[in-house]
Amino acid sequence: MLTLLNLLKDGRFHSGQDLGEALGISRSAVWKQLQHLEAELGLSIHKVRGRGYQLATPLMLLDPLGMAGMSPSWPVTVFDSIDSTNAQALRAIGQGQVAPFLVVAERQIAGRGRRGRKWVSPFAENLYYSLVLRIDGGMRQLEGLSLVVGLAVMQTLRKLGVADVGLKWPNDVLVDSKKIAGILLELVGDPADVCHVVLGIGINVNMQAADEVDQQWTSMRLESGKSFDRNALVVELSNQLQAYIQRHQVGGFSVLQAEWEENHLWQGRMVSLIAGVNQIDGVVLGIDNQGALRLKVNGMEKVFSGGELSLRLRDDS
């Protein structure tokens, strides 16, 4: 099926006879595979008598050869379809694969965001990216790491021409109030000794419609009016991640604290912090040198951190 997709990805018309000859199958078998492509991957294929078959939109598939400009030279595995890149990364750690390494996919059938939320993952439109790092020597290297990843994602999008992109504590990348990227870090091992961390990143790249998304969202294509080569995006993101992670390893999160606050879209805004059934209202003061949120609550500064916290703008903000 994917061999057929590679023949069609240029967006040009291909006759059923030519496709059948290339695949060594009958024209009726080609038609069945095309139907499967439409149903399984959600692709739209045009059929025109006398001309053949054409993808409604050309595809540029992920290809390790197209990522050759990635200066970190991390080993990359590309999956056509997978439950989630983070889940595959965790399996690879359990099987003894040596870090660092990178997992990317054309689509996820069980993509995950923070707090167990579904991450909508259509085929060959967005970037689903998980980088595995080995962490030696304790918790300091983990302090504020998700916020560091957010800075790398933000700078990647800006460099590729997406304007007005900024950050929302703790793990979202937004354009105005619309989500364009999210981050999910997962940890295995002993954080006080040797552990592995999976830096999971989802970026809306060329997606233009998604009925399943339950929040305001946007994509690189919607913001810029042009489509993007996701291989080039992998290269730029990896280069930015390497640079920011090195700064973090050398100086700790405190050396990046001011830069993160400068790019926090909700700095000084009135917010509600949700923790389970509890809600805390306050004004965002910033973050501390470990990446925890600083809020002014009833005239006093309070600090909050934790993976199950959610931040929302107040209606009167």
pLDDT tens digits for range 205-242: 999 876 666 678 999 999 999 999 999 999 999 999 99
Report the distance separating Cα 196 and Cα 91, nearest Å: 12
Say yes or no: domain 2-55 is CATH 3.90.700.10.
Answer: no
Confidence tier at 172 by pLDDT (50, 70, 90): very high
The pair phi, psi for residue 41, each rounded to 5°, is -105, -5
Fold designation for 64-261: BirA Bifunctional Protein; domain 2 (3.30.930)
Binding site: what residues are annotated? 84-86, 108, 112-114, 179
Q: Is 127 helix (H, G, I), strand (E, B) or coil?
A: strand
Q: Is it the case that residue 119 has pLDDT exceeding 60?
A: no
Q: What is this structure's pTM?
A: 0.89
Name the least confident of 105-119, 190-204, 262-276: 105-119
CA angle 132, 83, 219 (to 5 degrees): 80
Binding-site annotation, residues for biotin: 84-86, 108, 112-114, 179
Residue ranges per structural domain of the chain: 2-55, 64-261, 266-313
Residue 234 is predicted with a pLDDT of: 97
| 77: confidence class by pLDDT, cuts 50, 70, 90 | very high
Which tops the pLDDT comparison, 131 or 193?
Answer: 131
**Looking at the domain covering 266-313, what would its CATH class be?**
mainly beta
Q: Give residue 5's pLDDT.
A: 84
Q: At what angle do helices 16-23 and 27-41 cross, to 10 degrees?
A: 90
Q: Tokens 């890149």 identify what position? A: 85
CB 100 within 8 A of CB 131: yes
Reduced to 3 states, what is the DSSP secondary structure of residue 146? Answer: helix
As a whole number, mean pLDDT of residues 121-148 equals: 90
Whether the bond between 100 and the residue before it is cis, its omega within 30 degrees of 0, is yes
Would you please indicate which residues are annotated as catalytic (active-site) residues? 114, 179, 312
Q: Is the pLDDT confidence value at 118 over 80?
A: no
The C-alpha atoms of residue 122 and residue 140 are separated, in whole angstroms, by 36
